[in-house]
């Protein structure tokens, strides 16, 4: 019954993240007055990771026991809200194990755990977004982005302890499981961007807890100190709403040029001959009378016009001077 409730809760969380990501759509460029810069808000990014876990508690020696390694899987999502800042959520299923460093107890334990985490990231390096046309090209993809992360989570743990010396009843210490409690993760990481949509994350975090029963040992160990555990995670991040990587267009080879070679300039270009200006007298009359030759066909010609012959005049011989015709008497006396 408990397992079915836990699985139903996990499916509900994942469904909520998917619906939220679908509602956000693509990223949007906005301006932050606090950071005094432009940035791309969102879109939601999904993560899938594998974890190497290490336990620290009553049975380990040193900061983290080298004989207490476990494994796990995680799934989550994050969303960039401001420049250099992103918030996200993650669900992890993992194991913890350890062996006693004291031979007098010879205690070992294994534990299956589930963790629901809300975290924030502060990136030390972020994309540079410029909007002025006289500036350089936008650097909206950074390959190496280190960050600091912290948050708060809820842990559900179920340890099982055994001993080759002590009896099983003495190990339980009256504690019933599964147990639960808050955790606070603190760590560093970096992301390597392959494209706007795909990136890879390597992260190391330590979880501070408020319980001393992660290993099912408390009063028999160092009870004043609380247990803890660490994660070394490798994650794949995918952002479906980010712009896709543009493929390089393969252009067809240029056609063969058979024309003149070289650059055409004023030095190697022949000058065009100027056309002679029209004669003023050959131009049209501006008064609308037409061509002068058409108006007076008898003028402006070098040829003599034939004179009209008088029918009353006698024909003359060659070389003879023309005789003027006497005027007829009009009846008036001299």
* pLDDT confidence of residue 249: 66
CB contact set of 16 (below 8 Å; sequence gap of 6+): none
* pLDDT confidence of residue 69: 86
Low-confidence stretches of the chain (pLDDT beneath 50): 1, 21-23, 292, 325-334
* pLDDT confidence of residue 9: 57
Q: What is the pLDDT of residues 93-118, one digit of tens each?
A: 999 988 887 777 778 889 999 999 99
Tell me which residue has tokens 């994050």.
Answer: 78
Would you call 266 helix, strand, or coil by DSSP?
coil
* pLDDT confidence of residue 328: 47
Q: What is the pLDDT of residues 231-252, one digit of tens each?
A: 999 999 999 888 776 666 677 7
Helix H or strand E encompassing 2:
helix 2-24
**Proportion of the chain above pLDDT 70, given as a percent:** 59
Find out whether 77 and 118 touch, Cβ atoms under 8 Å. Answer: no
Listed by start position, the domains of the chain span 2-238
pTM exceeding the 0.75 threshold for the entire prediction = no
* pLDDT confidence of residue 281: 56
- Torsion over CA: 259, 262, 265, 267 (sign): negative
* Nearest CA among 62, 26, 71 for reference residue 44: 26
Would you call 171 helix, strand, or coil by DSSP?
helix
Q: What is the pLDDT of residues 274-306, one digit of tens each?
A: 777 666 555 555 555 555 455 555 555 555 555
* 322-to-315, 325, 327 alpha-carbon distances in Å: 9, 9, 15
* pLDDT confidence of residue 252: 75
- Torsion over CA: 288, 290, 296, 301 (sign): positive
Per CATH, domain 2-238 is 2.40.160.20: yes
Structure tokens at 234: 């490798």
* pLDDT confidence of residue 88: 95
Find out whether 121 and 148 touch, Cβ atoms under 8 Å. Answer: yes
Q: Provide the pairing of β-strand 179-193 with 144-163.
A: antiparallel
Q: Where are the beta strands (DSSP E) in the chain?
A: 28-32, 37-41, 45-56, 69-82, 85-99, 107-123, 144-163, 179-193, 198-209, 228-238
* pLDDT confidence of residue 112: 94
For the chain, state the CA radius of gyration: 52
* pLDDT confidence of residue 175: 74
């Amino acid at each position: 019954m408990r397992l079915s409730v836990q699985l139903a809760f996990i499916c509900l969380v994942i469904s909520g993240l998917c619906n939220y990501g679908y509602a956000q759509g693509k990223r949007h460029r906005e301006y932050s007055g606090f950071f005094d810069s432009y940035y791309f808000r969102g879109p939601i990014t999904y993560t899938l990771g594998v974890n190497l876990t290490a336990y620290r508690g009553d049975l380990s020696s040193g900061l983290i026991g080298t004989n207490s390694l476990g494994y796990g899987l995680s799934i989550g999502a994050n969303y960039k809200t401001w420049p250099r800042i992103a918030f996200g959520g993650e669900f992890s299923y993992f194991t913890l194990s350890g062996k006693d460093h004291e031979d007098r107890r010879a205690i070992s334990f294994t534990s299956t755990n589930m963790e629901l985490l809300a975290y924030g990231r502060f990136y030390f390096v972020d994309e540079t977004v410029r909007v002025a046309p006289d500036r350089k090209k936008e650097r909206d993809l950074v390959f190496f982005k280190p960050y600091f992360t912290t948050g708060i989570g809820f842990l559900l743990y179920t340890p099982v302890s055994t001993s080759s010396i002590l009896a099983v009843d003495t190990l339980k210490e009256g504690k019933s499981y599964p147990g639960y409690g808050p955790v606070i993760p603190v760590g560093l990481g970096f992301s390597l961007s392959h494209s706007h949509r795909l990136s890879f994350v390597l992260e190391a975090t330590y979880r501070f807890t408020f319980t001393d029963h992660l290993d099912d040992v408390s009063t028999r160990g160092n009870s004043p100190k609380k247990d803890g555990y660490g994660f070394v995670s490798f994650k794949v991040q995918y952002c479906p709403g980010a712009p896709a990587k543009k493929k390089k267009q393969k252009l067809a080879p240029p056609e063969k040029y058979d024309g003149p070679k070289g650059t055409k300039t004023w030095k190697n270009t022949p000058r065009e001959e100027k056309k002679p200006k029209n004669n003023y007298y050959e131009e049209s009359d501006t008064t609308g009378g037409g061509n002068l030759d058409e108006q007076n066909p008898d003028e402006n010609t070098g040829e003599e016009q034939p004179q009209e012959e008088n029918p009353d005049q006698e024909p003359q011989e060659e070389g003879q001077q023309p005789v003027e015709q006497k005027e007829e008497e009009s009846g008036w006396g001299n």
